[in-house]
């Protein structure tokens, strides 16, 4: 098994701009999940996309999944200063046990007012 | 609604001292429970997970142990802390019977070893 890897490691943008983060993984998955972590806090689940889905939306979030390339992207539109946080992708791998997730190292997003 | 509580929020301990971190979940039954450690600027490393009372699986050999004395209580322990045990410890839960469900995290414990 292999953790997802996010790219870029850090992203700095102005309010109102869109932020795109990418995640690559190496094994077959049941689903891929994106989480957000504010500094010093726990992770908050944002969105889950299943292996048979290609795109999913939730408010200002748009997630895509390309299982042939083993990659996913998270797009945050019209970013706000409050979106400043670390964003992690996590994979639920085929054959893994008991809801185990494999997390990447995250993308640190900074949104400047 | 379901909630998860972790305590303490921060802890400073000397090398060689014991450790006990507690995590409890409310509003659900028979959850899957997880302990993670997060080093600075790094992703999450799964330490232990549990599918039921007294059932503990360890992901990596280490100086720590876990116990689940009650359905919704998960405890992380050590008899003698090492400097390398410093980090941010996160507890998480997920419905035990559902597939493809996200995990829900507590607010974590910042552990500093002196």
Q: Which residues of A touch B43 (CB under 8 A)?
A: 3, 88, 103-106
SS3 B85: helix
| pLDDT range class, residue A1, cuts 50, 70, 90 | very low
Q: Which residues of B touch A44 (CB under 8 A)?
A: 105
Residue B46 CA neighbour count, 13 Å, CB half: 24
Q: For A16-46, what is each residue's pLDDT tens digit? A: 999 999 999 999 999 999 999 999 899 999 9
Q: For A38-91, what is each residue's pLDDT tens digit? A: 998 999 999 999 999 999 999 999 999 999 999 999 999 999 999 999 999 999
Burial class of residue A16 in the structure, from the number of CB atoms within 10 Å of its CB (0-12 exposed, 13-18 middle, 19+ buried): exposed
Integer CA distances (angstroms), B92 to A13, A72, A95, B6, B44, in order: 31, 24, 21, 10, 11
How many domains does chain A divide into? 1
SS3 A73: strand
Q: How far apart are CA A5 and CA A104, in angstroms?
A: 5
User: What are the pLDDT tens digits along chain B (114 aa)?
Assistant: 889 999 999 999 999 999 999 999 999 999 999 999 998 777 899 999 999 999 999 887 678 999 999 999 999 999 999 999 999 999 999 988 767 789 999 999 999 999
Q: How far apart are CA B56 and CA A40, in angstroms?
A: 27
Q: Which of A9, A99, A102, A105 should we substitute to test contact with B (largest number of B Cβ atoms within 10 Å)?
A: A99
SS3 A83: helix
Where do the structural domains in chain B lie, given as residue ranges? 3-113
Determine the structural domain holding residue A12 and report its residue range: 5-112
Q: How far apart are CA B104 and CA A32, in angstroms?
A: 15
Q: How far apart are CA B114 and CA B112, in angstroms?
A: 7
In 3D space, the residue among A45, A95, A92 whose CA is nearest the CA of residue A67 turns out to be A92
Q: How far apart are the first and last CA of chain B?
A: 39
At the top level of CATH, the class of B3-113 is mainly beta
User: CATH code at A46?
Assistant: 2.60.40.10
- List phi, psi (to 5°) of A83: -80, -10
- List phi, psi (to 5°) of A82: -70, -10
Q: Which residues of A touch B106 (CB under 8 A)?
A: 42
Contact present, B94 and A92 (Cβ < 8 Å): no
Nearest-CB residue to A31 (from B42, B94, B100): B100
Q: How far apart are CA B89 and CA A98, in angstroms?
A: 20
């Amino acid at each position: 098994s292999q953790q997802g890897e996010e790219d870029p490691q850090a992203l700095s943008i102005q309010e109102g701009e869109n932020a795109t983060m990418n995640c690559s993984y190496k094994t077959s998955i049941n689903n891929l999940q994106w989480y957000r972590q504010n500094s010093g806090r726990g992770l908050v689940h944002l969105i889950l996309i299943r292996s048979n889905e290609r795109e999913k939306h939730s408010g200002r979030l748009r997630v895509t999944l390309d299982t042939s390339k083993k990659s996913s992207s998270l797009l945050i539109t019209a970013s706000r200063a409050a979106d400043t946080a670390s964003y992690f992708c996590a994979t639920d791998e085929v054959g893994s046990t008991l809801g185990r997730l494999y997390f990447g190292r995250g993308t640190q997003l900074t949104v400047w007012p | 609604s379901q909630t998860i509580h972790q305590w303490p929020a921060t802890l400073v301990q000397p090398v060689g001292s014991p450790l006990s971190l507690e995590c409890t979940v409310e509003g659900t039954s028979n959850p899957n429970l997880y302990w993670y450690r997060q080093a600075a600027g790094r992703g999450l490393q799964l330490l232990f997970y549990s599918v039921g009372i007294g059932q503990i699986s360890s992901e990596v050999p280490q100086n720590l142990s876990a116990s689940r004395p009650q359905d919704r209580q998960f405890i992380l322990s050590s008899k003698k802390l090492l400097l390398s045990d410093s980090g941010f410890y996160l507890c998480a839960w997920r419905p035990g019977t559902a597939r493809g469900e996200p995990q829900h995290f507590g607010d974590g414990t910042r552990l500093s070893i002196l």
